[in-house]
Structure 1
Amino acid sequence: MDGVATFETVLLLLAAVVALHALALKLRLPPSAALLVGGGGLAFIPGIPQVSFDPELALVLFLPPLLFEGAYYTAFGRFRRHLPGIIGLAVGAVVFTTVIVAEVAHMLLPELPWAACFALGAIVSPPDAVSARAVLQHVTLPRRLQALLEGESLLNDATGLTLFRFAVAAAVSGTFSGGAAVGSFAMLAFGGAAVGWVVGRLGVFAVKLLRDQTLIVTTTLLLAWTAYLAGEALHVSGVIATVAAGLVFGWHQHVVMPARVRIQGSAVWRTAVFALEALVFILIGFQLRAIVDRAGGLQEVVSTMSGPVLCVLAAILVARFLWVFGSEGVLTALRKLGLKVARPLGPAQATVMAWTGMRGVVTLAAALTLPAAFPGRDFLQITAFAAILVTVILQGGTLGLLIRLVKPRDTDPPPQVSLPEAEAAVAHAKLAAAEARAYDADGQLIHPQLLDQLRGRARATDRYAAEPDGFMDGIQSHFEVLLAAIAAGRAELIRLHREGRIEDEVLHDLERDLDLEEVGILFQRGAQVDLR
């Protein structure tokens, strides 16, 4: 396929992404499942060009920005507080699932070498960050559960990819050392964290030096690939390096990044992440045709592989339930013995945790990198695709229903300062700063209207903090008037432009001011405005 044909195919895929995503929203289906199924269906249409991608390129292209963006917006305080539980899932659950899947695969297919069985387990064991965020952004979860799932999705790819590389090396060389594997994983993890910290700090330094907002936003995009490629070049975990860089940069961006850059950057990142996530799922769907053809056709796959594949899928689901509820049992027993290392999640949250385990791009990319002569290659690739298809559609499609059924409650202690109280504190800080600057050297008040406005705002936030529900009921009409006034101003601005009475530059400048004013009001009103 030449360059022009490749570009035309990418445009076709983007058009399919828009159509399938819009259809999924209309039918209230998970967009990731619609894209996955739609991509698989499109791949079998006669005349549609076969789309393939280099799996190593796919990891480098898609994984770093999605991991970086997820880490950038991670609630770092909760991430740090629940790090032991996150590591338990990202390392313990992945290793446990790998072992269970390997045992089941070897029992079903004794002719398959143990190294190949462990490679299969490593391929299908890590829940995918892309799949997880695609599903979690459409549901509401308790804070601790959200932190555990987000943290797991950021770190477990490193575990799965490390296990996979050791298993492939063992299958090729015929030797394996458990002690060497543990030591190597520790070096990869700590080395990746160190590289990511350095890249994150360099990003913060660069933002301080740069003045142009477009250059700053571009730099944030480059940080993701810089961290990943630097980690891989230094033979440590590029995944952990990317996550660490995102956490460091996300922690400091509130201080070093101007507000206008944050708004522009959020819009850029949101569009980029949407496009990358959507392309990942539709490309995964497109790989179905090539994988099935290599395995001998659909009839051959169904007749010879369906039984073992279904057993492996069952093992994946059962292994996660065993790990989650086994961990619950251990925590409960420790608390009864007086060791309050952590609170159990409880049956409702544990059920939701056990049901979240969607696989995605890392699983497919790892499967596609298997050498041509690798034992059981066709079976491993078919199983990998089936794991993605079943977990995204079955688990991702029913997660919302499960949450509504079990109703997990947020058992974390409430924050020391609530949102209304924090807003009141900010308003009083603004008022104090304005009062200190509202008078000239002779004590003459020179900004009376501004001072009255900020005092009114402080009084309003005090009432809001005292009685949030009652205050918001009364303030909604106030916001509606402001929004109507902005709409009228925008209509007048457009009328003047259409009549040729103002230049385009005037239109853009004043429209930007109205847009920022409207976004601020929508945030205050509590509307679901997401600039990410």
Structure 2
Amino acid sequence: MGASLLLVAVIAVAVAALCRRYGLSSPLVLVTVGLGIGWIPELPSVALEPELVLFLILPPLLYSAAQESSYQAFRANWRAIGFLAVGLPLVTTLVVGYVAYLVVPNLPLAAALVLGAVVAPPDAVSAQAIGRRLGLPRRMMTLLGGESLLNDATALTAFRIALAAAVGATATVGEGALTFAVAALGGLIVGLLVGVVVSWVRVWLTDPPMETAIGIIVPFATYYAAEELHGSGVIAVVTAGLYLGHRSVRLGYATRLQDEAVRKSIDTILESFVFLLIGLQLPMLIDGVENESWTQIAIDAAAVLAATILVRIVWVFPATYLPRLLSRRIRDREPPPTPASVFVVSWAGMRGVVSLAAAFAIPVYTETNEPFPARAEILFLTFVVVVGTLLIQGTTLPWVIRFLGVSGDEHAQDRLAYAAAQDRASREAERRLDEYAAELTDDDPRRLQVVMLRKWVTTQRNVAWEELGRGPEDLGESPTSAGARLRTEILQIQRAAFIAERDAGRIDDEVLRIALRRLDFAEGQGDRDT
């Protein structure tokens, strides 16, 4: 099994690399490749293990997304995020479950609601990737990101309640609400405690490799601790990630740079792995329903897929506009969203690996040792919803965004805000340099350092203001850009010279690594300045 998972990971990363190289949508290509590989004879099957997804893949992805999220934006849009992350999964559970109860033969209502809860949480990884590439407005990206952080907790809690009823355990509406409240509160407390402790430890250590190592362990430990205490592991990881991301300004620059590089690498591997794993599940799922009527299965799949897509559209529009109609405070505080932007959010409902993991977690037998009703059909229908939404909504979402003309103009606003902030920061730095220079005599050699630092601070300010008048269509090279290009060429010449010295045997590899590290930092600093 370990060798098979390693092979899946290698293929996934290779396919993802090709997709990034040629500008293709990685999730869609990976699922398609997985579908093709799954039918190759003699290849060992790779079953999706729920524990693998829920304990090893979901926590780091949630943690990374939470760290990259804005706590301020999250707080400012809590109402809209709540409608998407709490209200929509519950409504989807009920609507899709009832549709499945009506169309799937011999499917009890409790088991149908299990299916509804399984397909309730959208996976916004691909939607956010498309949105970033096409320049969706920041508020829409905040809503999609906030939804993806919390909807898993809602859906998985609903899944547990529906599953308890389906296997014969008692579960009332009141008990379900209490379970959700306890899980949410427990996850929030655990996440905050972990965030506070880890933040203090990382600042106290001042050891970048160890700080990053702790950061890698945090999502797994947080998720496990919350689940063991009957809290929501998802909410705990998200809370810890938001807190630590907000407090990351207290870390050293080396830790922040290292954290970002490690986090993005891990995200790339895990995201690629799970989408390829989704495609590989088809053959074994078909084996589970091979004795059923394919005409009936096609009708069931079409009905459940349509209900899953439509319930999101029907929910998002009223949830967006009704609060504005009922509250003048909301109308005065928030600009009215356009119908086009609302439709884009409603269309970004692709499902992912969490749905399949929950489906595979359905037990084979109930509390009375009876086979779980229509388990094979639920697994297959979940797969159809996941792949169907990825292929239908995922492939058309870029076209929908372009056709409706939904885009943000935050880039220009960000450059203006950055230039103004950089100007204030530069003036503060120049004031300190003037104070320091006033303490030096005219022949003090430290004056040269003050002059060099002044030039560097001035360059930072000039670059920020130059960028305001330069868009992607401006092909001319600014004076600062020309200087940065020359600086890079000089660094490359020095790097080649050090390598030649090593090759000639005049320095060893350890000296070369020291030299390259210093040149790399210098080149990185030049990239950040421009």
**Equivalent runs, 1:21-60 vs 2, <5 Å:** 21-60=16-55
> How far apart in 1 are the matches of 2:254 and 2:465?
32
Evaluate the alpha carbon distance shift between residue 301 and residue 73 of structure 1 in structure 2; reply closer, same or farther with a 3 A threshold.
farther
Equivalence map 1:489-508=2 (5 Å): 489-508=494-513
1:248 and 1:208 map into 2 onto residues whose CA distance is 14
* Equivalent residue, structure 2, for 1:230: 225
Distance (Å, rounded) in 1 between the aligned partners of 2:2 and 2:131 = 32
Identity rate, percent: 34
Does residue 155 of structure 1 match 2:154? no
TM-score (norm 1): 0.90
Count of paired positions: 517
- The equivalent residue for 2:484 is 479
**For the Cα contact (< 8 Å) 1:334–1:340, is it kept in 2?**
no
Equivalence for 2:4:
9
- Contact kept in structure 1, 2:195 and 2:244, CA below 8 Å: yes
Cα distance change, pair 19–223 in 1 and its aligned pair in 2 (3 A): closer
Return the alpha-carbon distance in structure 1 between the equivalents of residues 214 and 204 of structure 2.
11
**1:124–1:359 Cα contact (<8 Å) kept:** yes
> For 1:349-389, what per-residue CA distance to the aligned partner results, in whole angstroms no more than 9, with x for missing partners?
11210111121121001000112122121121111111111
2:525 corresponds to 1:520: yes
Match of 1:204 in 2: 199
**Using the alignment, how far apart are the partners of 2:289 and 2:22 within structure 1?**
34
Name the counterpart of 1:268: 262
Question: Distance between the aligned counterparts of 1:193 and 1:137, measured in 2?
Answer: 29
Aligned twin of 2:423: 424
Q: Matched residue of 1:119: which SS?
A: helix
Q: CA deviation at 1:83?
A: 1.3
Distance in 2 between residues matched to 1:81 and 1:415, nearest whole Å: 18
- Distance change (3 Å), C-alpha of 1:416 and 1:335: farther
* SS of structure 2 residue aligned to 1:173: coil
Measure, in 1, the Cα distance between the counterparts of 2:488 and 2:309: 49
Counterpart for residue 367 of structure 2? none
Structure 1 residue 348: Cα displacement: 2.0
Aligned mates of 2:155, 2:174 — CA distance in 1: 17
Which sits farther off after the overlay, 378-387 or 442-451? 442-451
Alignment partners' CA distance in 1, 2:373 and 2:102: 16
1:165 aligns with 2:160: yes
> CA contact under 8 A between 1:32 and 1:134: conserved in structure 2?
no
**Conserved in 2, the CA contact under 8 Å of 1:43 and 1:286?**
yes
Could you tell me how far 1:98 is from its partner in structure 2? 1.5
1:127, 1:153 within 8 Å by CA — same for their partners in 2? yes
Given residue 400 of structure 2, which amino acid in structure 1 is its aligned partner? L
Aligned residue in 2 for 1:366: 358
Q: Please report how far the alpha carbon of residue 426 of structure 1 lies from its aligned counterpart in structure 2 after TM superposition.
A: 2.4
Q: Could you tell me which of 302, 307, 320 is aligned with 1:310?
A: 302
Distance 1:290 1:114, change over 3 A: same
For the 8 Å contact 2:124–2:349, the answer to whether it is kept is no
Structure 1: tracts of 5 or more residues without a match: 1-5, 526-532
- CA distance, structure 2, for counterparts of residue 180 and residue 166 of structure 1: 9
Question: Which residue identity does 2:310 align to in structure 1?
Answer: V
Contact in 2 for aligned 1:427/1:454 (Cα 8 Å): no
Aligned residue among 371, 375, 381 for 1:377: 375
Distance 1:347 1:234 in 2: 43
Please tell me whether the aligned partners of residues 430 and 454 of structure 1 are also in contact (alpha carbons under 8 angstroms). Answer: no
TM-score normalized by the length of structure 2: 0.91
Segment drifting more, 453-462 vs 260-269: 453-462
Question: Which amino acid in 1 is paired with 2:286?
Answer: V
**In structure 1, which of residues 326, 329, 334 is the aligned counterpart of residue 318 of structure 2?**
326
CA pair 258-463 structure 1, distance change in 2 beyond 3 A = closer
Structure 2 unaligned spans of 5+: 365-370, 471-476
Taking the aligned partners of 1:318 and 1:464, their CA distance within structure 2 comes to: 48
Number of the residue aligned with 2:368: none
Deviation at 1:122, TM superposition (A): 0.5
Moved more, 514-523 or 360-369: 514-523
After TM superposition, list the pairs within 5 Å mapping 1:85-164 onto structure 2. 85-109=80-104, 111-164=106-159
Q: Given residue 32 of structure 1, which amino acid in structure 2 is its aligned partner?
A: P
Q: Is the 8 A contact 2:50 2:360 kept in 1?
A: yes
Q: Mean Cα displacement is larger for which, 129-138 or 497-506?
A: 129-138
Deviation at 1:459, TM superposition (A): 3.8
Distance (Å, rounded) in 2 between the aligned partners of 1:450 and 1:391? 60
Which whole-Å CA distance do the structure 2 matches of 1:78 and 1:366 have between them? 30
Structure 2 residue aligned with 1:295: 289
Deviation of 1:521 (Å): 1.9
Q: Is this contact kept in 1: 2:433–2:454, CA < 8 A?
A: no
Q: Which moved more, 1:460-469 or 1:246-255?
A: 460-469
User: Does the CA contact (< 8 Å) of 1:231 and 1:237 recur in 2?
Assistant: yes
